[in-house]
Chains A and B, each alone.
Chain A
């Protein structure tokens, strides 16, 4: 299982990876991207079973990344893990093909709850 984690904060990538391990997804390959552009390139170079992305990132934000990923034909489950959360943003994300929207701060239980609907550990 390969999981892509796109966030411009190394700290947040570390936190997401720790929670993924706690939730039982630690045996897979966890790949990090610093921004949306880097994440998009990684999805063009290989398959991921799940993509987790921040919204607010430099170069290509998470929403633009999602649109480009789906535009490329990417069909893997895509979820946002982000500080910003409004009903409009959630709707935009869902309309563009996101499967879930996790708002920071969050716990391992939150990650587990959302991922259980799209992935088996």
Chain B
């Protein structure tokens, strides 16, 4: 373990947004991403996925959430399908996990100078709101990926928890 202090929640956000921007332009074919605002929470019907990034100094969960309709549009873009093409729930869930996976990989690449020991875990798909524990700090940014409104989520757990 190094003596360097752990990165606070705000320190992760530029990497989260930058990774989401890359996801939008490269994997989804959108023009780009723009930040709307930081928000306290998401609508309870949101759907998305979180992926862990952990080391001996950090425990981060990060991911992307959106409405079900937006999820389907994003997945269709990712797969090169038209919005009207059929997607079953399992395909959407799998793709949301992959979105979180790509996002997590992008964050890791951008934060490697701060913590080279970060390890990317496997994603988990979530329907509904996230309730942070008292040992966790959460940051949510409302963002436009192309024309699609999404919420980028970062959740850190205190090393002393």
Q: Count contacts on A: residues with CB < 8 A to the other chain.
A: 21
B68-121 residues at the A interface, CB under 8 angstroms:
75, 78-80, 91, 94-95, 97-98, 101-102, 104-106, 108-109, 112, 116, 120-121
Contact A9 to B97, CB < 8 A, known contacts A85-B109, A103-B105? yes
Interface of A is mostly: loop
Question: A44 on the interface (CB 8 Å rule)?
Answer: no
Known A-B contacts A10-B94, A56-B122; A104 and B102 likewise in contact (beta carbons under 8 Å): yes
**Are B91 and A11 in touch, CB under 8 angstroms?**
yes
Name the distance in Å between B123's Cβ and chain A's nearest Cβ.
9
Q: What residues on B are CB-neighbors of A106 within 8 Å?
A: 26-27
Contact between B94 and A56, CB atoms less than 8 A apart: no
Q: A38 to B109, alpha carbons, bound, how many Å?
A: 28
Q: Which among A8, A15, A83, A107 is the interface contact of B78 at CB below 8 angstroms?
A: A15
Distance, CA A105 to CA B78, complexed state (A): 10
Q: How far is the CB of B107 from chain A (nearest CB, A)?
A: 10
The distance in angstroms between the C-alpha atoms of A88 and B118, with both chains bound, is: 12
Range of interface residues on B (Cβ < 8 Å): 20 to 34
What are the interface flags for A55-95 relative to B under an 8 Å C-beta threshold, 1 for contact and 0 otherwise?
A: 01010000000000000000000000011111010000000
A12 CB-CB contact with B under 8 Å: yes
Q: For B78, list chain A residues within 8 Å (CB).
A: 11, 15
For residue B154, which residues in chain A have a CB less than 8 angstroms away from its CB? none
Q: Other than the known A9-B94, A56-B120, A86-B116, what 10 A-B pairs have Cβ atoms closer than 8 Å?
A: A9-B101, A11-B75, A12-B98, A83-B101, A83-B102, A84-B105, A85-B105, A106-B26, A106-B27, A107-B26
What is the interface of chain A, defined by CB distance below 8 A to chain B? Answer: 8-12, 14-15, 18, 56, 58, 82-86, 88, 103-107
B residues within 8 Å of A by Cβ? Answer: 22-23, 26-27, 75, 78-80, 91, 94-95, 97-98, 101-102, 104-106, 108-109, 112, 116, 120-122
Query: Can you list 5 A-B contacts with CB-CB less than 8 angstroms, sorted by A residue number?
Result: A9-B101, A11-B95, A56-B120, A86-B108, A86-B116
